[in-house]
Amino acid sequence: MQQPYESPGAGPGPQVTREAGRDGGDGARVLVVDDDPTVAEVVSGYLDRAGYVVDRAGDGPAALARAAAHWPDLVVLDLMLPGMDGLEVCRRMRGRGQVPVIMLTARGDEDDRILGLEVGADDYVTKPFSPRELVLRVESVLRRTRPAATTRPLHAAGLSVDPAARRATRNGTGLALTVREFDLLAFFLRNPGRAYGREELMREVWGWDFGDLSTVTVHVRRLRGKVEDDPARPRLIQTVWGVGYRFDPAGTPGHEEG
């Protein structure tokens, strides 16, 4: 049977996690939700050594109770939980407030990973996984939630993004965006008129040199649903055949295709 994580005894684990936490920990609170106590213990140990404050929960109701008592800065959430699955936990947390979520999924369950992204997960890690990689993913997501005081607000086509305040509006009305949706919208506003491939977007917005490109597709679709008058005929975030996507503030409606 495959263990759900790589052996922490191999390689320079503690050195890597301390290095990651040097920029990423800073006492940020991470809630680890997994019904496997061994996985939860290993993940929590790596996050603790990286400088994070770690809370743990073994099921959905316990996770919601922990979050209500001490709202986390990020949640590491197993998809397969007893009783209330990770998708429902994610939905309920989104109903209470914005918090970045990294979903843990079984390898090969692409439909489940897509569902996780659809309900608002910002990232996912497939089992078996490296705890060191997970720590780096946590740091990457949290880094993008920090205020960027030197970045000026961005405005186009009725959309406004304030990177320092992590606030976005459409025609004056606030937008409820996940971390990645916010970063994607800000990137598009900074780079209007240029077509970007999904690989480029993954590198520039997610900070990954490799990964499942369906992550980009799902986030573009979700973002269109929040910023377009008619997401089925997107005017602002256009599909460029054979390339990827282009933000066109003065564009004409097209068809949503990927």
pLDDT of residue 110: 66
Supply the pLDDT for residue 113.
Answer: 66
- Write down the pLDDT at residue 184: 93
DSSP string, the chain: ---SB--TTSSSHHHHHHHHHHHHTTT-EEEEE-S-HHHHHHHHHHHHHTT-EEEEESSHHHHHHHHHHS--SEEEEES--SSS-HHHHHHHHHHH----EEEEEETT-HHHHHHHHHTT-SEEEEESB-HHHHHHHHHHHHHTTS--TTSPPEEETTEEEETTTTEEEETTEE----HHHHHHHHHHHHSTT-EEEHHHHIIIII--SS--THHHHHHHHHHHHHH-SSTTS-SSEEEETTTEEEE-TT--------
Per-residue pLDDT of the chain (258 residues; tens, 9 = 90+): 445 555 444 333 333 333 333 344 567 899 999 999 999 999 999 999 998 999 999 999 999 999 999 999 999 999 889 889 888 998 898 888 788 899 888 755 667 667 767 777 788 888 888 888 899 889 888 877 665 545 688 999 999 999 888 899 999 999 999 888 999 999 999 999 999 999 889 888 887 766 678 889 999 999 999 999 999 999 999 999 888 999 998 866 555 555
What is the per-residue pLDDT for 72? 93
- pLDDT value at position 254? 54
pLDDT score for 63: 95
pTM for the model stands at: 0.60
